[in-house]
Structure 1
Amino acid sequence: MKIIEELSESLKLEKGMRVLDLGCGKGLTSIFLANEYEVTVFATDLWISATENYERIKSTGLEDKIIPIHAEAHDLPFEDEFFDLAIRVDAYNYFGVEKDYLAKYLVPLVKKEGQIGVTVPGLKEEFTNGVPLELQPYWFDEMNSFHSCDWWYNLWKTCDSVSIKECKELKCLEEAWQDWLSCDNEYARRDIVMMEAEGGNYFNLVSIVATKL
């Protein structure tokens, strides 16, 4: 929640906007946006069913503002230029590292002059000499998608249909990690030892905001 709060500060959010929340998980980011900004959110996820999310959305009284969708990131069931804003909080790196993903799958869904905002777990600097020794026992293949601000900026710069507004480190890194590590989740418990080994030397959170031309 701290990540979506900080990302929102860099976005222009107005009542009545249509927002794609791609990979919304259990819909908490969608609930935040609908409640705080009175936008209509299409809460889209592959791993959490639309029915499960709809039950959660109904419990908040926001079912008229949030539409749950079950879809995969490469097969999104929306018309071109349907959204005023597309966001992805966390895990965009799993598919967004593909050179053509932004231009081929995400940009077409956003209106001209619409916004795209993404946050990803990242690195302060690229690992030019491989994964540091202290992190190797905890490294898994999916983490090969962790990259620096400069890496993400250069990737998005190849898409000539967007103008990059900002690409920066988020300030909420420590708070966001502490929230994750303190929750009752087996993956969070596993990450405690990794973050002790990391020691604040390598990881960050990267935010990228762009406007469609």
Structure 2
Amino acid sequence: MTTPFPRSSAYHPDWIRAGVSGGANSLWLTEWLTDALALEPGMRVLDLGCGRGASSVFLHREFGVQVWATDLWFSPDERARRFHDAGVADAVFPIRADARALPFATEFFDAIISIDSYFYYGTDDLYANYLAGFARPGAPIAIAGAGLTREIDGPLPEHLRPWWEPSMACLHSAPWWRRHWQRSGVLEVTHADAMPDGWQRWLDWQHEVAPDNATEIAVLAADRGDYLGYVRAIARRTDTPVDPPITTIDTTYHRTPLLRE
């Protein structure tokens, strides 16, 4: 049987499970995303929201790129040990940073990738403009992760209610991401689509790493891709200048009367 993820299948299942940082198989998503990207050896790549860094190892090993493995929640020390043991420490660098306060130079990266995390911070109307400032003009910005096959425009479907939480309002469809990025004025979207049978891959991974997660498994099985699945979006940073982020506003205090006489 031919696997839909031939690159990922070369990695030991125990190594993949040891790097789990969320509800998705990060190698599957990274492989699917990079199928539509042109990555070249030596490129500087930001792996934003990389979790425990499995996707960062994959990017370097498969494409020879340098990777800045950046995450807020997970320890950079653990990532450093993983990178050392994988033999990639000279090209994959663990960084702890908030996605909204990145410590990088303007136009530093040749590509920016985010696996199953962008929806946590990227739905902000201003965020695409902010992030694009770290990519050189022409560089791709690419995301893949959990999402919707179509938007939920009315009441929440009954079969999703046992699993759905208010914060899941951040999940969106590929057409939504296309519109969201295009209206930023600094990104030209080249791809926006859903993974074929993405709901099944999502369900397969839950059975593999979280078989006791009965609620999510039951909802995925009931939904069968009607709403839930994996989505990706890829854009090119245009030559349009980005608006520089406002970090401080200088003011001078002058004492004045508090009340009228």
TM-score (ref. length: structure 2)? 0.77
Cα 1:192–1:175 shift into 2, 3 Å: closer
- Give the number of the structure whose residues are more often strand, by fraction: 1
Please identify which structure carries the higher helix content. 1
Check if 1:118 corresponds to 2:143: yes
Contact 1:15 1:38 in 2 (8 A): yes
Q: Could you tell me whether the CA contact under 8 Å between 2:68 and 2:93 is conserved in 1? A: yes
Tell me the distance in 1 between the aligned counterparts of 2:100 and 2:145. 18
- In the alignment, structure 1 segments of 5+ residues that lack a partner are none
Give the superposition deviation at 1:125: 1.5
- More displaced 10-residue stretch of structure 1: 135-144 or 77-86: 135-144
Amino acid in structure 1 at the alignment position of 2:82:
R
State how many pairs are aligned: 212
Structure 2 Cα separation of the partners of residues 141 and 70 of structure 1 = 27
| Secondary structure, counterpart of 2:151 in structure 1 | coil
In 2: Cα distance, 1:188 partner to 1:149 partner: 26
Aligned match of 1:91 in 114, 117, 127? Answer: 117
Deviates more, 1:199-208 or 1:19-28: 199-208
**1:3·1:176 contact (CA, 8 Å) conserved in 2?**
no
Pairing partner for 2:66 from 14, 37, 40: 40
Q: Look up the SS of the partner of 1:24 in the other structure.
A: coil
**1:151-190 counterparts in 2 under 5 A?**
151-171=176-196, 173-174=198-199, 176-185=201-210, 188-190=213-215
- Measure how far apart 1:190 and its partner are: 4.0
Deviations 1:166-206 (A, max 9, x none): 11112361453134212334884542122123233211211
**Tell me, what secondary structure is at the counterpart of 1:166?**
strand
Contact 2:150 2:172 survives alignment (8 Å): yes
SS at match of 1:20: strand
Find the counterpart in structure 2 of residue 82 from structure 1: 108
Query: Which has the larger Rg?
Result: 2
State the secondary structure of the residue aligned to 1:110.
coil
- Relative contact order, higher structure (CA 8 A, sep 6+): 1
Give the stretch that moved more between structures: 56-65 or 163-172. Answer: 163-172
Q: What SS class does the counterpart of residue 112 from structure 2 fall into?
A: strand
User: What secondary structure is seen at the aligned counterpart in 1 of 2:145?
Assistant: strand
CA distance in 1, matches of 2:213, 2:40: 35
**Which structure 2 residue ranges, 5 or more long, are not aligned?**
1-26, 239-261
The answer to which of 114-123 and 30-39 deviates more is 114-123
Q: Distance in 1 between matches of 2:209 and 2:55?
A: 19
1:92–1:118 contact (8 Å) kept in structure 2: yes
Match of 1:133 in 2: 158
Look up the match of 1:59. Answer: 85
Contact kept, 8 Å, 1:180 with 1:188, in 2: the verdict is no
Identify if the C-alpha distance between structure 1 residues 64 and 162 changes in structure 2 by more than 3 Å, giving closer, same or farther. same
> Take 2:209 and 2:180, find their aligned partners in 1: how far apart are those partners?
35
1:142 aligns with 2:172: no
2:37 aligned with 1:11, yes or no?
yes
